[in-house]
């Protein structure tokens, strides 16, 4: 499966923004074919032992990583789904002491990609502060949801978008036509690939909802800060197990 490669917007490289204690985001922008801008977000977690975990590594050639270095030593890097690997090799080359972990199935899709595939068990280095759940692989595509327990923050990649603010009407229309929802929720790509296996998706979503998260950071779009768990459940209601449970008196819900 081939996907278009976006072009980095090099003059946008702000320093990490602190979201909560021991939690930062790194914002970058990509130019997609045809012109629309795609905001991207990496997340940085300070692990209990003091080192940093970077979830979805940002591009190295945008610069601005000296501010990341000032936070501490990058010791762990996670490529959390099947599409966010483009910066991985360059990023770990800049941080050769870091362990690179990959979403399941990436080695099969991308030949020569360094790193080790993440399993269902959280790495010991995450020290209980960071937990994860894996969706897939479904037709070779997977996603890892990450939960930072101290800040009650859920991190998602392409499972959900929350692109509500645009620089122009052109961009808003372009992304809507591309299947990006008008509010927090799964995109057309997520519905087509990641959520295609309904039984697997429902099991994954229920495990995510078991976390007591109060904030959702998505890779593309605005953070979800208000009623996060409730909004998440509503957005993914068609894919949850209870949505297909038989109703009293027979039949099934639509």
186 is a domain residue: yes
Per-residue pLDDT at 124: 96
Q: Tell me what pLDDT residue 45 has.
A: 98
pLDDT at position 26 is: 97
Cα-flanking dihedrals φ and ψ of residue 227, to 5°? Answer: 50, 45
Does a cis peptide bond (omega within 30 degrees of 0) precede residue 137?
yes
Rounded CA-CA distance 93/120 in Å is 26
Residue 249 forms part of a structural domain = no
What pLDDT is stored for residue 132 in this prediction? 98
Query: What's the confidence (pLDDT) of residue 4?
Result: 59
Neighbours of 16 (CB within 10 A): 21
The pLDDT assigned to 34 comes to 73
Query: 198: closest CA among 242, 143, 163, 146?
Result: 242
**Distance separating alpha carbons of residues 74 and 53, to the nearest angstrom:** 6
Question: pTM for this structure?
Answer: 0.90
Contacts of 65 (CB under 8 A, 6+ apart): 58, 94
pLDDT of residue 15: 96
Give per-10-residue mean pLDDT for the chain (254 aa): 68 94 95 83 97 97 94 98 92 96 93 92 96 93 97 96 84 81 90 92 97 97 96 96 46 30
Query: 187: domain CATH number?
Result: 3.60.15.10
The pLDDT score that the predictor gives to residue 245 is: 44
Tell me if 93 is assigned to some domain: yes
Residue 1 falls inside a structural domain: no
Does 29 fall in a domain?
A: yes
Q: What is the pLDDT of residue 248?
A: 35
Domain that holds residue 36: 7-118+126-238
Q: Is residue 243 part of a domain?
A: no
Instruction: State the pLDDT at residue 37.
Output: 85
User: Of 87, 82, 136, which Cα lies nearest the Cα of 110?
Assistant: 82
* Strand 7-8, strand 23-31: pairing: antiparallel
Domain count, the chain: 1
């Amino acid at each position: 499966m081939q996907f278009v490669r976006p072009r980095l917007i090099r003059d946008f490289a702000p320093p990490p923004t602190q979201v909560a204690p021991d939690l930062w985001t790194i914002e970058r922008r990509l130019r997609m074919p045809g012109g629309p801008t795609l905001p991207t977000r990496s997340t940085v977690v300070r692990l209990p032992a003091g080192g940093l975990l970077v979830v979805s590594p940002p591009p190295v050639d945008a610069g601005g990583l000296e501010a990341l270095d000032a936070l501490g030593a990058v010791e762990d890097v996670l490529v959390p789904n099947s599409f966010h690997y483009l910066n991985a090799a360059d990023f770990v080359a800049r941080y050769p002491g870091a362990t690179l972990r990959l979403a399941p199935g990436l080695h099969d899709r991308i030949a020569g990609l360094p790193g080790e595939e993440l399993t269902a068990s959280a790495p010991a280095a995450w020290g209980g502060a960071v937990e994860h759940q894996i969706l897939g692989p479904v037709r070779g595509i997977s996603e890892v949801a990450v939960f930072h327990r101290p800040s009650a923050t859920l991190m998602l990649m392409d499972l959900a978008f929350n692109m509500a603010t645009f620089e122009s009407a052109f961009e808003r229309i372009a992304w809507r036509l591309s299947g990006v929802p008008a509010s927090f929720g799964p995109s057309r790509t997520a519905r087509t690939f990641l959520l295609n296996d309904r039984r697997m998706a429902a099991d994954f979503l229920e495990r995510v909802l078991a976390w007591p998260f109060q904030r959702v950071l998505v890779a593309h779009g605005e953070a979800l800060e208000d009623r996060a768990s409730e909004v998440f459940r509503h957005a993914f209601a068609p894919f949850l197990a209870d949505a297909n449970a038989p109703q009293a008196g027979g039949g099934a819900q639509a």
